[in-house]
Amino acid sequence: MSQINIVIFGIGNVGSTLITQITDFNKKTTNRKLNIFCIANSKLALFKDNVTSGWSSNFETAAQPYTLDDIYAFAKTIKEQNDNEHTQEQEFVAVDVTASATFANNYIDLVEHGFHIVTANKVANTLSYDFYKKLRASLTLNKKKFGYETNVGAGLPIIETIKNLYESGEEIHKIRGVFSGSLSYLFNNFSKEDKDFSDILLEADALGLTEPDAREDLSGKDVARKLLILSREIGLAKEFRDVKIQSLVPKELNGKTTLSQFRESVKTLDTIFTESKSKLSRHEVLRHVGELNVKTQELEVKLVQESKFTALGQTQGADAVFEIYTASYGDQPLVIQGAGAGKAVTARGVLSDIIKITQSLN
């Protein structure tokens, strides 16, 4: 069996949780250990044979500036040492749990230097379709795996399910759902409670359910990226610009204002959403949805009035829910529902992708 050596890029909430989960995994398993040989943020890296529960303090005292060439050299040292000792075959996995808009540009280089890729970062799968194809061509040429299940639905098996349906020849008609855990929380609570939208938004922010700048959630762009990823999984050569997005951020509160100015003016949102709520019938709720119509190849992100009796209308808390309409399932969609956000479920999904790669190498 191959020895799996991991470099983790990103030591924020998800990255830190992932390190803990890998440490726990290694304590419980006897047949295969996951060796974290490097952890890095955007500027510093900690190189060591393994990462223990004390990695955080070690990072503060021993991390050093690095380039990718330093990581390649360290990986080469590991491989050569084991080759000399005639031990296990060495495999290397680069894990991207950053929020970087540019780190994905390194993926092809990582692959060409012998790394499989696992990512929670959606950027690589939402760049130009040309890059999308080049990355996959490089993976095929270099016989490397690419795990990105957490790009949509955090720990839910959305991408895997849709990919399996498509590759088995199933005719997919439509994919529709509440893609964002943060927006799910906002509109689940706003629809049923007698509270101002701004108060619920501030509650969600305090719970860590929204991005630090909630406009990133309200803009609909994150949902659009997830919708784009799913469209590409079923063979549509779509670009981000092809997604029709209804932004929930008023023009006067857009990115031209500072975050502090937005927070000071957040009450401006109340009039807008109170009006939307007033238009609901007794059996309707507001839901923020992403929808892909395969027949027309239309991708849309929007706020809708939804019946309380549908899967989307019955969501609770910060759950995400996905309806997959296919020829075999007919009028009743395949429904996948569960926690759509959170560091623990996202990290667990990343770890699952790592384990899938290890299993494929047996």
Specify whether the CB–CB gap between 132 and 142 falls below 8 A.
Answer: no
Query: Residue 68 and residue 350: Cα distance in Å, rounded?
Result: 21
For the full predicted model, state whether its pTM sits above 0.75: yes
Dihedral angle sign, alpha carbons of residues 164, 296, 133, 94: negative
Query: What is the fold, at CATH topology level, of the domain defined by 158-340?
Result: Dihydrodipicolinate Reductase; domain 2 (3.30.360)
Alpha carbon 314 to chain centroid distance?
A: 23
Active site residues: 226
Angstrom CA distances, 83 to 41, 87, 88, 111, 174, stand at 30, 6, 8, 21, 50
CATH architecture, domain 3-154+344-360: 3-Layer(aba) Sandwich (3.40)
Q: What is the pLDDT along the chain (362 residues), one digit of tens a residue?
A: 688 999 999 999 999 999 999 999 999 887 778 999 999 999 999 998 555 668 888 898 999 999 999 999 999 999 888 777 766 789 999 999 999 999 999 999 999 999 999 999 999 999 999 999 999 999 999 999 999 999 999 889 999 999 999 999 999 999 999 999 999 999 999 999 999 999 999 999 888 888 888 999 999 999 999 999 999 999 999 999 999 999 999 988 887 789 899 989 999 999 999 999 999 999 999 999 999 999 999 999 999 999 999 999 999 999 999 999 999 998 899 999 998 778 899 999 999 999 999 999 86
For 65, the enclosing helix (H) or strand (E) is: strand 64-65
* Phi and psi torsions of 39, nearest 5°: -125, 140
Return the CA Rg of the chain: 22
- Same fold flag, 3-154+344-360 and 158-340: no
Q: Where are the domains of the chain?
A: 3-154+344-360, 158-340
Using CA atoms, how far residue 268 sits from 197, 217, 218, 345, in Å, is 10, 17, 14, 33
Residue 39's nearest CA partner among 123, 114, 95, 84 is 95
